Each structure stands twice: as structure tokens, then as C-alpha cells.
Amino acid sequence: MRALVSRLLVATALLSAPAALSAHRQWLLPSTTIVSGTDNWVTVDAAVSNDLFYPDHFPMQTESIQVWQPDGSTGAIQNAAKGRYRSTFDVQLDKPGTWKIGTASTNVSGSFKLNGEDWTVGRRRGPPRGPEGAGRPAHSVATAADIPAGATDVKLTEMSSRNEIFVTAGEPTATVLKPTGKGLDMEPVTHPDSLVSNEPARFRFLIDGKPAAGLKVTLIPGGKRYRDSEGVMELATGADGVLEVKWPAPGMYWLNATTTDNHPATPRATERRMSYTSTLEVMAP
């Protein structure tokens, strides 16, 4: 009886847990972030899951993965494969310096009315859901440019996101660390492949090339399955856009920052949502 009550209490706690603790998170996990020489490979797991970095939900698509070589030129992934819960791929590190691997995308989502009917923008077309057709509209267009001239009640949101990791072969370099000047960027002050648990690290966040002051940044260590708590660190940037982090322990950390403003580049859009995600490896001293 006592065991049954205990299980019921655990189940109740799980059902009442905050949504933030069970949110699906997209991540890239490299097999290593530092190698010596130029005859090495890195294998990357890519997934969306609840626990970091344990694949339990669905795999990321590898078609959108990009590789930036140490000189800034374009590289390529190899041996890509998609499983039930995660994707994997390899990158050959055949040049010395720091490589960047990840995704960068900008798209538009929203809705409008045409002849009294509801339409969506940037979403897959599908049948309405719910009683009497309530729910998702049956009509959609792929981009904002496809909105018909007679549309009314146009509501558009521009969404940009970056998810990237850094791997260094030999000595660290800085070419791929330069910000793009568009959307939400992370410009490392401390090299991302030189992080040590007893040393503070600094990262500058920028929006369109300008310091992102007061930006909220979330850091979560991996291995949640083996801890009682998630170990979330909620931090914020200073007036200069710089975030200082004091790592509590070695390991892999998931970093994420999101923000919203009203400066989209897409015509007719009124809001812009931006996110930046990275996986960082912190070494023991």
C-alpha cells in the first residue's frame, strides 16, 4: 500500500510540473569540441527532446545543417542518418582552426482572411480540426509574398533562429565567431572551445549588430535523468550585451536566448521573434 501511494504521489507531481520543465528542446550534441591535428572527425547527434541530451521525442532534419570551415567557407556534413528519436551526421575536420556547425533560418508565420475565410501563412495545409470544422484553417500559403491582394486582417510574425556548435582542430581561431549583424547573434568574448569550470566565461549578445541589453539567457546542464533537479541557470546580459557565466561543474551545457521586438524585415509583418541556441562543452580544470 505504501509503495502504491508513493507511485501515485510521483505521478501527481509529474502531471503538475511546470510546462517549462517538460518543454521540447532542439539540440546539437558533438562527440567532442576539441581535437588535435587535421585528420579527425566529429559525430553530431541532432534531436528534439525533453531531457538534455537524451533523445526521446523526434529527430532533427539534417537537410538544413550547415558547416562553416575555419576560413569562413562552406563545408559539408557526411554520413547523415535519421533514426526514430535522433539524427546523426559526421563532419571531417581536415583544416586547422575553429569550425561552426548548425542551422540558421528566417521564416514568416501568420494569418489573414480572404472572402470571409481564414487562411494561414507559412504552415502546412490540412483539414480543419474539431467540431464543425473548428480549429486549423483549411487554406494556407507558403510565404507572405503569396498573400492575395484582397486579403484582410493580415497578421504576420517574422521568426529567425540560430542553433550552432563550435569544434576546434588544433589552435582556436575566430573567423566563424564573427556576428552576422542580422537578428540575434552570440559573439563569444571567451572562445567557446576554451571553457573551464573554475573560470568565468563571457559572451556578447547582439541584435542587428547592437548590444542586446537585459537579454534573458537560459543555461541547462545535460544529464537531467540522473539528477533530482534540472539545474537551470537563468541569467541576463548587461548594458553592453555581455553575459558572464560561472560554470558550476564540467559537462555539456545547453544555452538558449529568445526575444521579441517590432523590427521585422518582412513587409507587412509587425513582430519579430528571435532565438539563439548553442551546446557548449565545459572542461574540468
Residues 152 and 83 in one domain: no
- Residues 96, 117 share a domain: no
- Mark the ranges of the chain whose per-residue pLDDT is less than 50: 1-22, 125-135
pLDDT confidence of residue 138: 61
Residue 24 lies in a domain: no
Q: How many domains does the chain have?
A: 2
Q: Which of 157, 190, 220 is the last residue of a domain?
A: 157
3-state helix, strand, coil in the chain (%, to 5): 10, 45, 40
d(CA 78, CA 92): 8
Residues 200 and 119 in one domain: no
- Whether 221 and 144 map to the same domain: the answer is no
Q: Domain limits at 208?
A: 31-106+158-283
- The gap from C-alpha 236 to its chain's centroid, in whole angstroms, comes to 18
Report yes or no: 204 and 174 within 8 Å, Cβ to Cβ: no
Cα–Cα distance list, 171 to 71, 75, 248 (Å): 13, 19, 26
d(CA 38, CA 21) in angstroms, rounded, equals 40
Within 10 A of 237 (CB to CB), how many other CB atoms are there?
21
- 182 and 72 assigned to the same domain: yes
- What per-residue confidence (pLDDT) applies to 142? 85
pLDDT digits (tens, 9 = 90+) for 176-215: 999 999 999 999 999 999 999 989 999 999 999 999 999 9
- pLDDT score of 5: 37
3-state secondary structure of 33: coil
Q: Are residues 153 and 166 in the same domain?
A: no
Which of 116, 135, 157 terminates a domain? The answer is 157
What's the pLDDT at 85?
Answer: 96
Closest C-alpha among 52, 34, 32 to residue 44: 32
Would residue 18 count as lying in a domain? no
pLDDT score, position 139: 84
The residue assigned the cell 510546462 is 19
Query: What is the structure's pLDDT at 123?
Result: 60
